[in-house]
Amino acid sequence: MSKPNSQTHLRNIAIIAHVDHGKTTLVDGMLKQGGVFRANQHVAERVMDKMDLEKERGITIVSKHNAITYGDIKINIVDTPGHADFGGEVERVMSLVDGVLLLVDAVEGPMPQTRFVLAKALQAGLKAVVVVNKIDRPQSRVDWVVDQTFDLFGHLGATEDQLDFPVVYAIALQGTSTLDANVPGEDLKPLFETIVNHLSPPEGDPEAPLQLRITTLDYDDYKGRIGIGKVNSGVVKTGQAITVINREGEHVPGKIAQVFIYQGLNRVEVEQAEAGEIVAISGLADVNIGETVASRENPVALPLMNIDEPTLSMTFGVNTSPLAGREGQFSTSRKLRERLMKELQTNVALRVEDSETADQFTVSGRGELHLAVLIETMRREGYELQVSQPEVIFHEENGHRMEPLEEVEIDVAEEYSGVVIEQLGRRKGEMLDMKAPGNGTVHMRFKVPTRGLLGFRNQLITETRGTGVLNSLFGGYVPYMGDMTVERNGSLLASESGITTTFGLQNAEERGILFLPHNVEVYEGMIVGKNARDTDLEVNVCRTKHLTSMRQSVKETFTRLNPHTVMTLDRAIEYIGPDELVEVTPKNIRMRKRELNPDQRRKNSKTRG
């Protein structure tokens, strides 16, 4: 039942789910059946994932806005990230919407990132529609998933009203939904009906003074900065004189140049938009996320949004390797600083601080993936830089040292469960639960300090032959859990600069695992592989075979190397130690020692010892 000042023709919803549960695919189906595309129009898969990184990784990184029309009702849909590292995006979105679609897999049920985002939604007082997706999977266990979801709502402190959620069963890939899991669906009409009937329309008095909180920023080469948010009250108009109330509480006068609303996947310019509508506005060059756009006559600020603090930090610096400046368009500290400051305008969960030296910056984020996505984005934009090993951010509370904790869930084959328990035990992990579903796998839950997970994902892949699946979720701060000794292999280091040769690499691969093929340029102190022992070893991978006057058989002249391990940016960041760096350029990812000179490295180690 609508309230006096609710906009009955509108529904603002967010779709939240764990990574890879079919959220973006479901949005595709809703867009197609919501009349956004022509009948004969070719539509790419996962049309909402616009960034190349999103398409490659198969995850949503940045929240997207779109709108469909069902009957006389407009449904504004916000596609949110499912990964906890992008929680800053999720928290802002919750202030935009009035209800959520909670998408859960018909086999896996609620997962860690489901808990994270759902908790934010319930804290905001939002009601949910539960969508059990992929009910056509052979291992589907619909009743169990619904029970687990209900338990999760209760565990997160849902109210009685929130616990009374409707359930829709769907096959997003086929674009079908049904209210009875035993009756096949034909289209998404049951889902649309449930959204319209169960989720409340937005509230807001169009006659009241304007209040609009900016939750997302965009940029257009012609229109400049564009602020996106929901009109909480009043009406926003083209050419309207307004007041921006910034984070310091200062009142800054301004004028709105253009007003846009969402139709399908596009922004459409309109003369005005009333309370309840999600809009994009231009003309405010200095507006920032969390600030309130209010009426000039009666400016009243909306509450500022609280964003969870970062848990990891890395040093971003100017590339100082012997190959610096060859592959990147932007490589100076000034350009690096400008790009990081620009990122701060839209990435609210990020922190950037100047360091003691002018060519380095301390960048803090919500996790390794959060920072890796930023680095990869900068690399593709033509930036050249070097980054350090991630470090955990400690807090002081009442004189006690506090460290971040992760709630970890691991699915692994039974034969590898012992080694996983042993490795996490060394990393101060505490097992909370262990279940064997009966299909040859084990599901385990742990509490592990964040620093214990640094470098563990690579180790898990190695120890479980690539079969282990790990999901983690920030679980708050706990008192410091003591020193941690983690065994780590040493690195194979290039002993001289040059081009790698098959002969040189063949000698080096006897010592460990190589990261490079032949005919690649290297420099002294660059990491070319992982040593089988726990110490660093210098190897000459540029060594050539001396020619002799003696004939050799064809068998001797053709040498076959073992396949090398390709180190992606994520794996390189996980691999490096405290005295190592990752060199990032648009064309290459290299790892190196901070100190390239071997004699100086030995002196430094003696000094530390």
Does 133 show up as a binding residue in the annotation?
yes
- The most distant pair of C-alpha atoms in the chain lies apart, rounded to whole Å, by 98
CA–CA separation, 413 and 2 (whole Å): 51
Beta bridge mates, 10: 74
Nearest Cα to 270, choosing from 37, 402, 74, 501?
A: 74
Does 546 show up as a binding residue in the annotation?
no
Does 198 show up as a binding residue in the annotation?
no
- How far from 508 is each of 502, 529, 543, 576, CA to CA, in Å? 10, 8, 10, 19
Does 325 show up as a binding residue in the annotation?
no
Does 20 show up as a binding residue in the annotation?
yes
Look at residue 194 and give its three-state secondary structure.
helix
The model's pLDDT over 492-508, given as tens digits with 9 standing for 90+, comes to 999 999 999 988 898 88
CA–CA separation, 524 and 39 (whole Å): 60
Does 171 show up as a binding residue in the annotation?
no
Which CATH number is 10-198 given? 3.40.50.300
Pick one of 3.40.640.10, 2.40.30.10, 3.30.750.24, 3.40.1160.10 as the CATH number of 211-295.
Answer: 2.40.30.10
Going from N- to C-terminal start, the domains of the chain cover: 10-198, 211-295, 395-479
Which CATH number is 395-479 given? 3.30.70.240
Residue 360's contacts (CB-CB under 8 Å, 6 or more residues apart) are 315, 316, 317, 318
Quick one: residue 301, left, alpha or beta (phi over 0 = left, psi -120 to 50 = alpha)? beta
Nearest Cα to 377, choosing from 356, 350, 400?
A: 350
The model's pLDDT over 85-102, given as tens digits with 9 standing for 90+, comes to 455 566 677 888 899 999
Number of Cβ within 10 Å of residue 285's Cβ equals 9
pLDDT of res. 112: 63
The model's pLDDT over 183-231, given as tens digits with 9 standing for 90+, comes to 888 889 999 999 999 998 988 888 899 999 888 877 777 888 888 899 9
The model's pLDDT over 548-587, given as tens digits with 9 standing for 90+, comes to 545 454 444 456 778 888 888 888 998 898 899 999 999 9
Does 22 show up as a binding residue in the annotation?
yes
The model's pLDDT over 109-153, given as tens digits with 9 standing for 90+, comes to 887 667 777 887 888 889 999 999 989 888 888 999 999 999 989
Quick one: residue 518, left, alpha or beta (phi over 0 = left, psi -120 to 50 = alpha)? beta
Given the structure tokens 């006057």, which residue do they identify? 549
Number of alpha helices (DSSP H) and beta strands (DSSP E) in the chain: 16, 35
